[in-house]
């Protein structure tokens, strides 16, 4: 068993695709119309056949209160592995990304938390 697809709820799929590709550096894998939304996934350019991230519309009534509660408590919706949190923080800050937590070393892990502009906090994590 392995993780094939995971998702993050987004308030605007087009905006999310631009942020996750143009800013974070993922690449679009699938973009299929499904009713009024899209089956829209991105992958790491380093692992194009790896785990897909579904940019899932947040239209279900339970989703917005859930997302708001996570953001209010500073809880990331998901976590992405990076080789160098400090370097990613500098790169993304230079692109105008807002961080809610600057790089913080916690034992063998360094993390930072950013706002994805689509209603979520995303953690970047580096394991030493």
Rounded Cα distance, 38 and 127, in Å = 34
Per residue in 90-107, pLDDT (tens digit) is 999 999 999 999 999 999
User: Quick count: other Cβ atoms within 10 Å of Cβ 24?
Assistant: 20
Q: Is the pLDDT of residue 4 over 90?
A: yes
Rounded Cα distance, 75 and 120, in Å = 9
Residue 128: per-residue pLDDT:
87
Residues 6+ apart with CB under 8 A from 68: 119
User: Does residue 119 sit in helix, strand or coil?
Assistant: coil
Q: Chain-centre distance of CA 125, in angstroms?
A: 12
Give the β-pairing of 52-57 and 37-43. Answer: antiparallel
Rounded to the nearest 5 percent, the helix, strand and coil shares of the chain are: 25, 40, 35
pLDDT above 70: percentage of residues in the chain: 100
Per residue in 36-65, pLDDT (tens digit) is 999 999 999 999 999 999 999 999 999 999
For the entire predicted model, the pTM comes to 0.95
Confidence of residue 17 (pLDDT cuts 50, 70, 90): very high
């Amino acid at each position: 068993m392995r993780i094939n697809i995971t998702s993050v709820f987004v308030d605007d799929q087009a905006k999310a695709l631009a942020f996750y590709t143009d800013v974070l550096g993922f690449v679009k894998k699938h973009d299929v119309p499904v009713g009024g939304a899209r089956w829209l996934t991105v992958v790491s350019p380093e692992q194009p056949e790896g785990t897909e991230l579904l940019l899932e519309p947040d239209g279900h009534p339970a989703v917005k209160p859930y997302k708001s509660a996570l953001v209010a408590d500073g809880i990331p919706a998901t976590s992405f592995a990076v080789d160098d949190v400090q370097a990613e923080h500098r790169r993304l800050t230079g692109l105008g990304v807002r961080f809610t937590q600057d790089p913080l070393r916690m034992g063998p892990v360094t993390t930072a938390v950013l706002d994805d502009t689509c209603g979520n906090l995303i953690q970047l994590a580096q394991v030493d």
